[in-house]
Amino acid sequence: MTTDAERASAVAFARQNCALEHITPSDEALNAARHHMDHAISVGDMASSIEHPSVADSIFFNTIALGELGWKASGDLDELKAIHRRIFDGVFDDAGIIRTSNTRGKVGRAADPEAFFPANLIETGAANISTELSDKRNLHSLDRDVFVKELAHVYDELGYLHPFIGGNAVTLRIFASRLAHDAGWDLDWGKVDASTYKTAKRSAYEGNTSDLERMFHQMIRPANPSRTFLIAGWEQGPAH
């Protein structure tokens, strides 16, 4: 059973994770989340407590549920697929399924007009990233500056991998939070706004991860093992 602090943290993170993609849950959905925090309804009953939940509402509710119930952490493509499946269940027909066609961004990577990773090589690319993480002990026992640099690198690589047609950023923030926590650091996404995030991602996409590193520097603290790691505001959950 989740604690009050865990519920509050899951709701705060879900709302911020949506906001960073300009996804806006309805007032009814936010009200249902408040009822959930008050123990009036369970995490599984939020969607059924309102009439005609929107796509944004479903993503919001699914993120809260994921934050409270967790998922299997494997540090590879299977983990990304599991997160994506849970967040976009009932939203995308291809929830948890990697894309099979190539896609392009608005700008080229390092001045190359070709956009994201070739679809037919996603599994190979993901395996390479997973192996790199494993070789680096999943970023465990690194000093702050080194950790931030390595996290920015893997975040950029996974962003370029872009394994799903949609919902990649929503999924990646959750994966990165889990990876960071297990490595000894917590990320506070409440310290980031959509514009800062977009700028950092665009710069990394063009080959410069310094904005991503700066963003992560502003977000991290040593991990608190007693609290949930999906965070948007340090005041949510047990104090650091």
| pLDDT tens figures, 176-210 | 999 999 999 999 999 999 999 999 999 999 999 99
Per-residue model confidence as pLDDT tens digits over 140-180: 999 999 999 999 999 999 999 999 999 999 999 999 999 99
Report DSSP state, residue 207: T
Q: Beta partners for 101?
A: none
Q: Are 114 and 135 in contact (CB under 8 A)?
A: no
Torsion of CA 195, 198, 199, 202, to 10 degrees: -160
Q: How far apart are CA 174 and CA 187, in angstroms?
A: 10
Neighbours of 16 (CB within 10 A): 22
103 has a pLDDT exceeding 90: no
pTM of the model: 0.92
Is the C-alpha dihedral spanning 37, 39, 43, 45 positive or negative?
negative
Phi, psi angles (nearest 5°) of residue 177: -65, -40
- Residue pair 175/80 in contact by the 8 Å Cβ criterion: yes
pLDDT score of 47 more than 80 = yes
Per-residue pLDDT band at 224 (split at 50, 70, 90): confident
Query: Nearest Cα to 86, choosing from 63, 116, 109, 55?
Result: 63
pLDDT on residue 94: 97
d(CA 159, CA 200): 12
Length of the chain (residues)? 240
User: How confident is residue 239, by pLDDT bands cut at 50, 70 and 90?
Assistant: very low
Mean pLDDT of 211-215: 98
Could you give the domains of the chain?
4-222 (1.10.3290.10)
